[in-house]
Amino acid sequence: MKAYIFPGQGAQFPGMGKDLYEASPKAKQLFDQANQILGFDITNIMFDGTADELKETKVTQPAIFLHSVILAEVMGNSFKPDMVAGHSLGEISALVANKTLEFSDGLKLVYKRALAMQKACEATPSTMAAVLGLDDKRVEEICSEIPGTVVAANYNCPGQLVISGDIEAVGKACEKLKEAGARRALILPVGGAFHSPLMEPAREELAAAIEATKFSEPICPIYQNVSSLAVTDPSEIKKNLISQLTAPVKWTQSIQNMIKDGATEFIEVGPGNVLQGLVKKIDNSAATGKAEI
């Protein structure tokens, strides 16, 4: 069974999507539509902008979403998912690809999400850190003992977990984690504490937009970040997507559940190849590949 997986923030690169735009009239139409929906020429930044310009959250998130969903669209009949999943932001890409969301609705939600997260980041100085070489349970225990806000945010693969919270608490947690035997505890160059309680203002803002958006019956199950389980019920998909901003991304558990449910091949749809690497670290026997037009 084929599983299609969609990347999140961090996968962007200058020039992304230009090959799609030039190769396909359908892609050109969708990119042009995106410029109109967003009210600015995101294609100019994607195709000709600098890495720094692409790093801005309000650009990064829609850019990755567009690259992913337009690639899936251009693949046409060769895009036949048995199941899908997306890492953080990638979950909305996956929901457009499996027909839960319309393209325009998905893009509007992504842009709303980016702006709401940006605002939450500016309200509270916060950060994230990658922790390598320590058991998930041990990381959770240490975080729970630190004063302030610091939580497990991304379960990326065994031995690689990202923590998230206020700057002081994350810094203290990094010290304690190294003392406990972590190979590395490295502060990440991000704007704030994604997938932590500090994103609550963004979650509330996004919740209203999600509630007002039509979610349809998908063509295949999505394994959502919050539960790591297969979901097909539109109301449950909605509820999980609302919870996503303040809850951890259970990527390891999602991939394990997809394999348990019959996935034999994982195709990454969108920029970069980070997710293929994570799948291999979760289960080395799983076949991985890259979506191409």
pLDDT given at position 30: 98
pLDDT single digits (tens) 63-90: 999 999 999 999 999 999 999 999 999 9
State the catalytic residue, choosing from 68, 164, 195, 196.
Answer: 195
**Per-residue confidence band for 293, with pLDDT thresholds at 50, 70 and 90:** confident
Distance CA(44)–CA(66), nearest Å, equals 13
Q: CATH number of the domain at 125-187, out of 3.30.70.250, 3.40.50.300, 3.20.20.70, 3.30.465.10?
A: 3.30.70.250
**Per-residue confidence band for 43, with pLDDT thresholds at 50, 70 and 90:** very high
pLDDT given at position 277: 97
User: What order of strands is seen across the sheet that includes strand 184-187?
Assistant: 150-157, 160-166, 126-132, 184-187
The conformation of residue 196, written as its DSSP 8-state character, comes to S
219: Cβ–Cβ under 8 A, 6 or more apart, which residues? 81, 98, 99
DSSP per-residue letters across 39-70: TS-HHHHHHH--HHHHHSHHHHHHHHHHHHHH
The pTM for the full model equals 0.96
Distance CA(69)–CA(98), nearest Å, equals 10
Instruction: Kindly report, as residue ranges, where domains of CATH 3.40.366.10 are found in the chain.
Output: 2-122+197-290
Distance CA(267)–CA(154), nearest Å, equals 20
pLDDT given at position 139: 98
State the catalytic residue, choosing from 24, 68, 88, 126.
Answer: 88
Averaged pLDDT score across all residues of the chain: 96
Q: CATH number of the domain at 2-122+197-290, out of 3.30.1360.40, 3.40.366.10, 3.40.228.10, 2.30.30.30?
A: 3.40.366.10
Instruction: Kindly report, as residue ranges, where domains of CATH 3.30.70.250 are found in the chain.
Output: 125-187
Catalytic-residue membership of 67: no
How large is the greatest C-alpha to C-alpha distance in the chain, in angstroms? 56
